[in-house]
Structures are given as C-alpha cells and as structure tokens.
A and B are shown apart, each in its own frame.
Chain A
Amino acid sequence: MKLTGKTHIFGDNIDTDVIIPARYLNTIDPAELALHCMEDIDAAFVDKVQKGDIMVAGYNFGCGSSREHAPIAIKGSGISCVIARSFARIFYRNAINIGLPILECDEILSEISEGDCLEVDLSAGTILNKTTGKSYSSEAFPEFMREIIEAGGEIEYIKKKLGEGVD
C-alpha cells in the first residue's frame, strides 16, 4: 500500500498533551478530537493539514499519557502516516491498534523540509522524498504486529482469535 502526501515536521518528545490537550478529552468523537489536533504546539496545524499528509518527527513521539485519543486525533485530521525517529511505547501500540500507520526512520528528519512530498510504501517499509529524490528505509514490523495491522486493527484481530476458541 502506497501513501503520498506533503510533510508536517515536528521535533523531539512530542507528547500526547500537545497532540490532543486533556481539556478536549470529554469526547471520544474522532471528528471533534481532530479539530484540536496539535493545537498547543501549532495552532494553525488543523487549517494547514490536508487529507493524506504525512507527519515527520524526532525522538520519543507520543510520550506521556496513554490517551488513545492522540492517534485518533491525528488520523482524524487527515494525516495518513507518522514517521518518527522513535515512538513512545504506549503511542506505538495505540497507533497499531487503531490502524494509524507509523514508521521508524532515523535519517529522514535531518534531510527534509516542511511541505516536501513523500511517497511511503508501507509493505516494503520504504520512504521516497519526491521533492529531493532521496529514498529511505525503515524497520519492518514484526510478523505478529503485521497480523494485527492486516486484520484491520486489534479489535478485528481479537474477534478472529476469540472466534477460534481462545478465551
């Protein structure tokens, strides 16, 4: 599966409080959460972002609170994929569980500009910067996680598993 979109760049330690501030956690509606995505670090983000765009960030993306509302807000805002140098572990699980594609890539951040156009091949784990012509590879998901992603998220995966008699 290939994704193409313009990039929005963020730094290190982007925490879930700035991804979706707690004052908006009185709802679980993805559309409403998306209206406030990244609000406390880039108030203009929701006006700039277009469907299919790609977020690129530094180390420890999604640190802090366990709120699954964070990947939901990002997905709801139209972002098709998040590429970061590394992810905080709860965010990593949550993104896989809700079907937000994420990739770990160390090199790309230092060679990218805001608005560059990227093409991401999720099954191959490759990233092409169409603006600069440079390509990158990322760590492949373990097979176990690919099964969750291929099932369409954790709920579909567990439904299948429970259906097979595991209780």
Chain B
Amino acid sequence: MTEQIITPSANDKNDTTTHNPETHNFDATDSYNFAYLDEQTKRMIRRALLKALAIPGYQVPFASREMPMPYGWGTGGVQVTAACLTPDDCVKVIDQGADDTTNAVSIRSFFARTAGVRTTEATDEASLIQTRHRIPETELTEGQLLVYQVPIPEPLRFLEPRETETRKMHALSEYGLMHVKLYEDISQHGHIATAYAYPVNVEGRYVMDPSPIPKFDNPKMSDCAAIQLFGAGREQRIYAIPPYSHVKSLDFEDYPFDRLRAPGACALCGADDSYLDEVIMDDQGTRMYVCSDTDYCSTRHERGHVGDQSDLFDSEEG
C-alpha cells in the first residue's frame, strides 16, 4: 500500500529535479561531504552571509554547528570557509599572521582533506584566506575572500551585558557607550590604549568589532578590494564588509585614531612598514622584532631584502 503511494511521487521528483545536491556533491571515495558541512547547513550559512553583505556590519544570527574542534579555535571561521569553498579554490590559513602555527596548519589540512582543495602559504595565490588576529600585509585583490575568526562579535558586550539592550542600541545607532570605553582608556593611560579589537564604524551605520586584529590593521579594512566575512561560532553570529566599503575607526576629535606599531624594522627582512612581533631571545632582556606575517617576511627575504639578523633565516632553513 504505502509503496504504491510513495513511489510515483518520488519518481516525479526525480524527473523534474536535475540537480539533487545530496548526490551531486558526494564523493564516493570520501565519507565526508564536500568541505565537511552538509549542503543544507552551507545553504543556511550562505543565506546569513548574503544578508550580512547586504547590511554591512550588522550581526546576522545563524545556527552554528558543532565542529570537530573546540570553540575558540575558529569554529565560526571554519563554517564560513566551508560554506564559501568551491573545488577550484585555493586556501590559505593564518594565525597571528603565521602560516605555520598549530591552528593554521590544522585548519589548512582539514580543508585539504575534507574538500580536496589546493592550499597555499602565498597571500596572492590564495582565493580564500581564513585568518585569526591579522590581515595579510600584501594588499588583497578583487575576487579574494578574507574570513575572520571572531571570538566575541558584540563590540558593546563588555559595557552592556544585556543582548536585548545591545540589539536595540544597534538598531537605533545609540553608540555613545562605545566612546565611554575610549574615554576610559584616555583617562587611565593618557591615550587610547585599546590595541586590538578596536571598534569601527562601517559605512556610517553599524559599529562593529573587527575581531582581535591589531589596530594597525584597521585601516586595511577600509576600501578593501576583497570581501571580508566574519564568523563567530560560539556566539552564532556572522557579519561582513562588502568590497570597497568605508570603515572608520572610532576616535575623539582631540585624540585621533593612531596605528600602533613597534618601532624599528624587521630583523629578518628589514621591512619597516609591516606589523612586528616582539620575540624574547634570552633571559637578559635581549629581544628582536620580526614580521608577524610570515609569508610577507619570507617573500621579501627571497627577493633579497635583508634585516639586521638575516643570518638567522638562513641557519633556520639550513
């Protein structure tokens, strides 16, 4: 009885539907769907991404999934990447600017395995860059996607704990509170001491947390050719900055926004325009400054640029 009722309708569907996503993307040799997430989940995330792009800086709630990694390790970014990947993509993952840290290596191999996409460490070769805490030094180009891992998407959270209230504040553009935080900085430290996760205003409307990137990177977000997507897995929020959007870091008239950068040049490649990491060399107070963007640094080194301690580069490679 039941078979007779179901079979004809199922046949009808098979006749009319030429692209069945479930069968289309399954690779028989792999137990995972393309890029780990199932097609329905990717579709849900893409909808959130489209909405986020349509309302720059607005936090779109989405049904974040459990990922095979702990919260705080980039579950939001990984889901956004998974939803955006195509088989032709080339993926780069950076963690604090570096391609070779645990988090970056793990996520890169995760997508190499579950999506079979090419991976790279070169910024200009990548079509999708997932990042934690940095924007690459190399200028991004049209067609590239930059996916940020976001721990806390709500810029007002530490000042206003109620979600209902922060949503209302966003809806009505009541952003005075954000300046209270900056005021506190100046009154305590004499300057705006917030050095990372520095709040920005997107296209004159929504105030947004740019994820914990150093404020040195803030100006790179404005008028950027690439699409910038932000995923917060635990907090279940997605937001975005479309290409060539105006992004302004908040400040006071008499305390204007200031990029923070360690003084000096990279000890390995001599770059004096990149964001520097401070490395403690011994317990005598010796320190060196090196580019936090490893790809930028090694590319410069290969092109013959040298810093004070470039010999370290060679001994490391040898």
Q: Verify that A and B bind, or say they do not.
A: no
Q: A residues touching B (Cβ–Cβ < 8 Å)?
A: none
